[in-house]
């Protein structure tokens, strides 16, 4: 579905990604784990077209997208939920969700998708007329994911969905991520610093260190790897 080949990315003269390669198959949850500065967020920003000082290739459904603009990539069904949630604080929950459907011309379909999001996140229904900036961190994360779902993603790029959230809220968010994948058939590429919970719900995991993939494998096996346990699980 998504194939990354020899991807290099630059911030000026600084090389952030140093030739990484990986793939995401349709229907999978794939985890990318690593410490701060490893290149996790950069990887998602490159895939979604937000960073374009790159070398290598990114193909989606067999087509290279390296020259596509961000809105063209979104129209293909690659939807990016960025780190820090990025909701529009002065707009209501409902208005934020409406914005998620900007690539869909059929407004009835957008409205139907919003109703589906309310089923997934009942709290958003309760808060639908509340300004997004007044929501709790967990509610804002639900809104960010919900807004992404409005666009009917084929693959959802999730960047640090657990960031700054209480453990009980993190469990709730990850339960929903798994449900979205299993029931709504949305493929998910998950960047996450909480390696344990990320690996528990994913099929495969890639470990990034300073812009390089240093380990990869089936998540249920990699979670028992000595290097991973010591470096990322605190064991």
β-bridge partners, 80: 157
pLDDT band at 102, cuts 50/70/90? confident
What are the residues whose beta carbons fall under 8 Å from the beta carbon of 63, sequence distance 6 or more? none
pLDDT per residue over 29-49, tens digit each?
999 999 888 999 999 999 999
Whole-number Å distance between alpha carbons of 7 and 59:
11
pLDDT of 233 reads 84
Average predicted confidence (pLDDT) for the chain = 93
Measure Cα distances from 92 to 121, 129, 199 in Å: 15, 5, 34
pLDDT per residue over 117-176, tens digit each?
999 999 999 999 999 999 999 999 999 999 999 999 999 999 999 988 889 999 999 999
pLDDT of 16 reads 95
Classify residue 233 by its DSSP letter: S
pLDDT of 235 reads 63
The pTM assigned to this predicted structure is 0.92
pLDDT per residue over 54-82, tens digit each?
999 999 999 999 999 999 999 999 999 98
pLDDT of 152 reads 92
Q: Looking at the chain, which runs of residues are DSSP E strands? A: 2-11, 14-24, 29-33, 54-60, 63-64, 78-81, 155-159, 187-191, 204-209, 212-218
Q: Measure the N-to-C terminal CA separation of the chain; round to a whole number of Å.
A: 34
User: What domains can you pick out in the chain, each with its CATH number?
Assistant: 27-41+76-189+208-232 (3.40.50.300)
pLDDT of 37 reads 87
pLDDT of 36 reads 86
Measure Cα distances from 63 to 4, 18, 58, 130 in Å: 12, 22, 8, 41
pLDDT of 52 reads 87
> Which whole number is the average pLDDT over 185-192?
96
């Amino acid at each position: 579905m998504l194939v990354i080949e020899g991807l290099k990315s630059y911030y000026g003269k600084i090389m952030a990604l140093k030739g990484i390669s990986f793939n995401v198959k349709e229907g999978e949850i794939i985890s990318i784990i690593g410490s701060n500065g490893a290149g996790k967020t950069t990887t998602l920003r490159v895939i979604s077209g937000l960073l374009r000082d790159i070398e290598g290739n990114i193909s989606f459904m067999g087509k290279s997208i390296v020259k596509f603009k961000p809105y063209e990539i979104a129209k293909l069904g690659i939807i990016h939920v960025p780190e820090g949630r990025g909701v529009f604080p002065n707009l209501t929950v409902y208005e934020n969700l409406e914005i998620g459907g900007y690539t869909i011309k059929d407004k009835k379909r957008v409205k139907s998708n919003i109703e589906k999001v309310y089923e997934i996140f009942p709290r958003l229904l309760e808060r639908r007329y509340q300004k997004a900036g007044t929501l709790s961190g967990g509610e804002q994360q639900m809104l960010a994911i919900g807004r992404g779902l409005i666009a009917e993603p084929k693959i959802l790029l999730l960047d640090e969905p657990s960031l700054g959230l209480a453990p009980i809220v993190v469990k709730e968010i990850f339960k929903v991520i798994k449900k979205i994948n299993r029931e709504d058939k949305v493929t998910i590429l998950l960047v996450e610093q909480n390696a344990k919970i990320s690996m528990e719900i994913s099929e495969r995991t890639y470990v990034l260190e300073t812009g390089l993939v240093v380990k990869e494998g089936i998540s249920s096996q990699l979670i028992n790897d000595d290097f991973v346990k010591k470096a990322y699980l605190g064991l």
